[in-house]
């Protein structure tokens, strides 16, 4: 199954209240914003899903753009944004190809649980796209599944919510290898998350474009 069909199937067939990543804590991200460590500016939310983080950033006065591969996810995001009375731009696109943005660059780019769902052969290109559309010394926030996750026997698992799609785990060394040509890690954070299916550990990174 191609990525567009895989993720569209999730949002079309799963009740919103049962989509697990909508229930994940964003407390560290929000704290960084509340403390001004991530300053207000232009922002791009990659894999924005139903738009919770996009809406939060708009409420904090970011000029925000959300991107997701699923048209159903973007439909929900637009509805929720309208209900919240906030202004945001939303696009239905694959985040590994941001050419539709042309030469636009942002102060801040957010990946809240998108990277680990991207096919391995596209991950390097995804990083290059992020670097291309982030200002020099701009900030990038990444949340991804961690190889610290207990009872892990591979570098990936088959996503139960996304049948036939590999979901990847990353170590800090993997992240440095992927992002190190363009970014330096300036802060990091670790946490866990329990789902009905498995316990997942997350690593979060705040990076600066170099």
DSSP string, 102-144: TT--EEEEEEES-GGGS-GGGHHHHHHHHHHTEEEEEEEEEEE
Question: CB-based burial of residue 146 (10 Å sphere; 0-12 exposed, 13-18 middle, 19+ buried)?
Answer: buried
User: What do you get for the CA distance between the two ends of the chain, in Å?
Assistant: 36
Q: Of 118, 104, 107, 133, which Cα lies nearest the Cα of 174? A: 118
- Angle of CA points 86, 59, 28, to nearest 5°: 140
Compute the distance between CA of residue 191 and CA of residue 210 in angstroms, rounded to an integer.
Answer: 27
Q: Of 57, 187, 178, which Cα lies nearest the Cα of 110? A: 57
> How far from the centroid of its chain's Cα atoms is residue 10's Cα?
16
Q: In a structure prediction context, what are the per-residue pLDDT tens digits for the chain, which is 210 residues long?
A: 688 888 898 899 989 998 878 878 899 999 999 999 999 999 999 999 999 999 999 999 999 999 999 999 999 999 999 999 999 999 999 999 999 999 999 999 999 999 999 999 999 999 999 999 999 999 999 999 999 998 888 999 887 666 678 999 999 999 999 999 999 999 999 988 766 667 889 999 999 999
Q: Of 98, 79, 96, which Cα lies nearest the Cα of 88? A: 79
* pTM to 2 decimal places: 0.94
Compute the distance between CA of residue 35 and CA of residue 174 in angstroms, rounded to an integer.
Answer: 28
Query: 80-135: per-residue pLDDT in tens?
Result: 999 999 999 999 999 999 999 999 999 999 999 999 999 999 999 999 999 999 99
- Angle of CA points 92, 96, 98, to nearest 5°: 60
Q: Which helix (H) or strand (E) holds 65?
A: strand 63-68
């Amino acid at each position: 199954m191609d990525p567009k069909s895989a993720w569209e199937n999730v949002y079309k067939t799963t009740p919103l209240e049962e989509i697990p990543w909508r229930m994940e804590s964003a407390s560290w991200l929000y704290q960084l914003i509340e403390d001004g460590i991530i300053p207000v500016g232009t922002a791009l939310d990659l894999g924005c899903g139903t738009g919770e983080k996009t809406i939060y950033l708009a409420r904090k006065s970011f000029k925000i753009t959300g991107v997701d591969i699923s048209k159903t996810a973007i439909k929900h995001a637009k509805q929720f944004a309208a209900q919240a009375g906030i202004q945001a731009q939303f696009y239905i696109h694959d985040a590994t190809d941001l050419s539709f943005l042309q030469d636009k660059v942002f102060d801040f780019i957010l990946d809240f649980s998108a990277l680990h769902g991207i096919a391995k052969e596209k991950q390097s290109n995804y990083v290059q796209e992020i670097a291309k559309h982030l200002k020099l010394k701009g900030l990038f926030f990444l949340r991804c599944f961690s190889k610290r996750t207990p009872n892990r026997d591979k570098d990936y698992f088959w996503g139960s919510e996304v049948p036939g799609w590999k979901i990847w785990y990353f170590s800090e060394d993997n992240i440095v290898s992927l992002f190190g040509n363009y970014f330096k890690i300036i802060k990091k954070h670790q946490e866990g998350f329990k789902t009905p299916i498995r316990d997942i550990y997350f690593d979060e990174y705040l990076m600066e474009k170099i």
